C-alpha cells in the first residue's frame, strides 16, 4: 500500500557519487553518508551509516582525503540507527567529536530510546520496519551540541537548519553560496513505500521515512522551510542526489502536495521529546499484520491437510 503522494523530479540527475563541489555521497546499503570538503582542506563526515560499516566510510574518506587525515567533525542529521550506527566507532578511530542538535543528545548519550516505530503506516518500509531497532546510542562522551549560531564544525560556508518532524532534533545542512542542501531524513528522493522504487532508486521527492516520523505537522513545516530556500541540488538520507534548474520548483510543488499517511500511530497525535528524551508517546494503533499472518498459516495448514487427504 502506498501512503503518500510523491512528486517526480524533472531536473537532470546528479552523479550517484558526486553531489556538488566538495560533496561526495557514500552509499551504505539503503542509506547515505557524505564526505564534505575538498582534498587538502578541512572536511567533515555527515551521517555515518549503519552499524558495522565504519571501515567502508573510513576507506572512502582515505581515498578522497588521504591517510591520517581525520575529519574536523562528524555531523549527524539525527541519531537513528541507520544514520548514527557507525558514529561511535568512527569517533573513536578518528578521535573526533560528533555534533547534533541539542534535542538529539538524549538519544546519543544513553539517556533515552526513540519513540517506537510505527509499521501500521503501511508500505514496503513499514513492513520492513518491524525488524528495525528504535534504541538510542551511547557515543561515550563524544556527542556535542551544534553551535547555536548555526555554523557547522568542519564545514565552513555551511549552516545547519532545525528541521523537526522525523525526529525532534533533526537538522538539515545548507550551503548558501550555491544552494546545496543535505536534507537528511527531512525528505527522501525515492518512494520508500514502494518495494520496486527502493530497488530501482527512481528519483522522486517523498515524505521522510514514515514508520519513524513522529510529528507529521512538524515534518510538513520543515519541508516547506526547505522549499523556501530554493535549493539547486539536494541529497537526502535515502535516494540518489538531484540537481538542476527545476529542483527548486519540484520541491516547492512537493511541499504544496505533501501528504501524511492516512493511518498510523503518530498521524493524528505526535510524540513529544525534550532535553531528557521522550516525554510522551501516543498509544499504539491496531496492527493487522500479526492476525493476517496467523490466518495465513491456518489457511495454509488447512490446504495442506485437505490435499493430503485427497492424495
pLDDT tens digits along 173-184: 999 999 999 999
Count of helix runs (H) and strand runs (E) in the chain: 9, 16
Nearest partner of 25 among 65, 60, 71, judged by Cα: 60
Contact 226, 187 (CB under 8 A): yes
**pLDDT digits 0-9 by tens, 179-229:** 999 999 999 999 999 999 988 888 999 999 999 999 999 999 999 999 999
Res 11: pLDDT = 52
pLDDT tens-digit readout, 293-302:
443 334 344 4
At 55 the pLDDT is 97
Q: What is the pLDDT of residues 91-143, one digit of tens each?
A: 999 999 999 999 999 999 999 999 999 999 999 999 999 999 999 999 989 99
- What b/e sequence results for 167-193 when a residue is b if at least 16 CB atoms lie within 10 Å of its CB, and e otherwise? bbbbbbbbbeeebbbbbbbbbbbbbbb
pLDDT in tens, 72-97: 999 999 999 999 999 999 999 999 99
Q: Is 254's pLDDT higher than 60?
A: yes
User: How much is the pTM?
Assistant: 0.89
What pLDDT, on the 0 to 100 scale, is given for residue 9?
A: 61
Please name each of the domains of the chain with its CATH number. 7-284 (3.60.15.10)
pLDDT value at position 156? 97
**CA-only gyration radius of the chain, Å:** 20
Q: How far lies 239's CA from each of 66, 97, 206, 214, 254, in Å?
A: 27, 27, 10, 21, 16
The confidence score (pLDDT) of residue 96 equals 98
Confidence of residue 17 (pLDDT cuts 50, 70, 90): confident
CA distances from 55 to 22, 23, 123, 147 (A): 21, 19, 32, 28
CA separation for the pair 192, 205 (Å, rounded): 10
Amino acid at each position: 500500500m502506498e501512503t503518500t503522494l510523491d512528486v517526480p523530479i524533472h531536473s537532470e540527475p546528479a552523479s550517484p557519487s558526486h553531489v556538488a563541489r566538495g560533496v561526495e555521497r557514500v552509499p551504505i546499503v539503503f542509506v547515505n553518508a557524505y564526505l564534505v570538503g575538498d582534498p587538502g582542506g578541512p572536511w567533515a563526515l555527515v551521517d555515518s551509516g549503519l552499524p558495522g560499516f565504519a571501515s567502508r566510510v573510513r576507506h572512502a574518506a582515505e581515498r578522497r582525503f588521504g591517510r591520517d587525515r581525520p575529519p574536523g567533525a562528524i555531523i549527524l542529521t539525527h541519531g537513528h540507527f541507520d544514520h548514527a550506527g557507525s558514529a561511535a566507532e568512527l569517533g573513536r578511530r578518528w578521535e573526533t567529536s560528533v555534533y547534533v542538535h541539542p534535542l538529539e543528545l538524549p538519544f546519543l548519550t544513553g539517556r533515552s530510546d526513540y519513540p517506537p516505530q510505527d509499521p501500521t503506516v503501511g508500505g514496503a518500509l513499514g513492513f520492513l520496519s518491524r525488524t528495525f531497532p528504535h534504541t538510542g546510542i551511547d557515543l561515550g562522551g563524544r556527542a556535542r551540541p551544534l553551535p547555536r549560531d548555526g555554523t557547522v564544525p568542519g564545514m565552513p560556508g555551511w549552516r545547519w537548519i532545525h528541521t523537526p518532524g522525523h525526529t525532534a532534533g533533526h537538522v538539515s545542512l545548507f550551503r548558501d553560496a550555491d544552494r546545496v542542501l543535505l536534507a537528511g531524513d527531512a525528505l527522501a528522493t525515492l518512494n520508500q513505500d514502494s518495494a520496486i522504487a527502493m530497488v530501482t532508486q527512481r528519483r522522486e521527492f517523498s515524505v521522510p521515512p514514515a514508520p519513524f516520523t513522529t510529528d507529521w505537522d512538524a515534518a510538513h513545516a520543515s519541508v516547506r522551510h526547505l522549499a523556501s530556500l530554493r535549493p539547486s541540488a539536494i541529497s537526502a538520507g535515502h535516494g540518489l542526489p538531484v540537481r538542476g534548474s527545476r529542483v527548486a520548483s519540484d520541491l516547492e510543488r512537493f511541499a504544496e502536495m505533501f501528504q501524511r499517511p492516512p493511518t498510523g500511530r503518530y498521524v493524528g497525535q505526535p510524540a513529544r521529546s525534550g532535553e531528557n528524551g521522550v516525554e510522551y508517546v501516543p498509544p499504539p494503533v491496531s496492527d493487522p499484520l500479526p492476525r493476517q499472518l496467523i490466518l495465513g498459516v491456518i489457511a495454509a495448514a488447512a490446504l495442506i491437510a485437505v490435499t493430503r487427504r485427497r492424495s
